[in-house]
Structure 1
Amino acid sequence: MSVLNELKAADWAIIFATLLGPVLAVQAQKWLEALRERRNAKHRVFAQLMATRKERLSPDHVRGLNMIALTFYGAKYFKLRLTSKTETAVLRAWKAYFDHLHIVLDEHTAAALTIQREELFIDLLAAMAMDLGYDLDKVELKRGAYSPNWHGIVEDEGNRLRKSLVEVFEGQRPIGMHIVNFPPTAAGEVAPTSGPGQRGDGGSTSEPR
């Protein structure tokens, strides 16, 4: 009887474990590294949005929003996609907020839509916090951010300045001019008049009687 026939099931298990052990260990290490990188990516996006939640027009904030669909996509093994419940909640909250961002605000609907948009954004942050294990409620997410009033003033002034410049370049807004004083005239030159019968220096141009 050969040696192979004398081996029992337990012996075969030991052999396979000895042969496959290093391979499985390497694969397990790769899986843990991928899992750690996914979590770190989520942390970076969440921290970026938290830091800029009072600066919705900043490039960093927009960049963070655009990374949500990728970082919370879930894990993909071969052709199988595995998404947790909390990741699915984040993607749903992002879709609702994303759709609302494309609604054009006007003077009649701006107030109501701005409130709705703020609530959807807070829902998004809350879903991300839950996925990452942070115990943050919506009130804290909404009121816990600090932004000096000066930042809002600068942003508002910048928006008004850009709007005014665009209107000027498009011919919708004239450039107002106001002459404060005429330059002094040389001897023998006639000063420009600022009105009927008036010289630039305020004197009368009529002949003496």
Structure 2
Amino acid sequence: MLTELAIVAATLLGPVLAVQAQKFLERRRVKKDRQTEIFRTLMTTRASGLSSRFVEALNAVPLEFYGSDKQLKKINDSWKLYLDHHSNVPTQEGHENAMWGQKRIELLHEMLILMAEYLDYDFSKAQLTSDIYSPIGHGVAENQQEIIRQGLARLFQGEFSLPMKVTSFPETAQMHSTSQSDE
């Protein structure tokens, strides 16, 4: 009788437990896929910190790498340090600004290393820091766009005006007809 009850229970509960286990594994896989996509985006855009894709991925870190796991806490702590560093941007160009930029890159690399370890990628710090292609032209274009953006903002805010040099005045039909009748 006990054996028969066990068989009935296993027959009824087996499929339910199998479906629940499958759902659990699927949720875990989907979460890992989202984390991997964030890591991938941060890696592929790490040379262009102003890229909207980079910023979106960076903002998704605390959401997708949330948890009580030790490694997840380290990732979030690293993310927070990186974010806090951005609230202390030097206002003037020069040595202080260059040091700030170097520290920003170091903090980003530390976060990427932690993510790589968590996601079972075997990247060394050297690979993360030097194995990157970023054409000089992209940096130049990004700097020029920033100069143009700041200049237009200053113009629209009335901080300066455009210098103009008038070289000639357009002739109107009336001025032209008046000069012909005088002849």
Amino acid at match of 2:109: I
Of residues 133, 137, 154, the one that matches 2:124 is 137
Give the distance between the partners of 1:168 and 1:91, measured in 2 at CA.
Answer: 40
Give the direction of change, closer, same or farther, for the CA distance of 1:175–1:29 in structure 2 (3 Å limit).
same
Give the distance between the partners of 1:68 and 1:163, measured in 2 at CA.
Answer: 30
**Secondary structure of the equivalent of 1:177?**
coil
Q: Is 2:137 the counterpart of 1:150? A: yes
Give the distance between the partners of 1:89 and 1:129, measured in 2 at CA.
Answer: 12
Q: Is 2:164 the counterpart of 1:164? A: no
Amino acid at match of 2:48: E
Give yes or no for contact 2:74–2:114 (8 Å, CA) kept in 1: yes
Give yes or no for contact 1:93–1:124 (8 Å, CA) kept in 2: yes
Q: Is 2:51 the counterpart of 1:58? A: yes
**Secondary structure of the equivalent of 1:178?**
coil
**Which protein is richer in helix relative to its size?**
2
Which of the two has higher C-alpha Rg? 1
Normalising to structure 2: TM-score of the pair? 0.83
Give yes or no for contact 2:89–2:100 (8 Å, CA) kept in 1: no
Deviation at residue 13 of structure 1 after TM alignment:
4.8
1:7-22 to 2 correspondences below 5 Å: 7=2, 13-22=6-15
Of residues 101, 111, 128, the one that matches 1:114 is 101
Of residues 120, 125, 130, the one that matches 2:112 is 125
Residues 17-59 of structure 1, C-alpha deviation per residue, up to 9 Å, x if partnerless?
3332111111100011011101100111011111111111111
Q: Is 2:74 the counterpart of 1:89? A: yes
Output the aligned Cα RMSD: 2.5
Give the distance between the partners of 2:120 and 2:87, measured in 1 at CA.
Answer: 30
Partner of 2:23: 30
Query: Percent sequence identity over matched residues?
Result: 38
Amino acid at match of 2:46: R
Q: Which runs of 5+ in 1 are unaligned?
A: 75-82, 190-209
Amino acid at match of 1:147: S
Give the distance between the partners of 2:19 and 2:155, measured in 1 at CA.
Answer: 65
Deviation at residue 171 of structure 1 after TM alignment:
2.3
Q: Is 2:32 the counterpart of 1:39? A: yes
Q: How many residues align?
A: 173
Give yes or no for contact 1:164–1:173 (8 Å, CA) kept in 2: no
Q: Which runs of 5+ in 2 are unaligned?
A: none
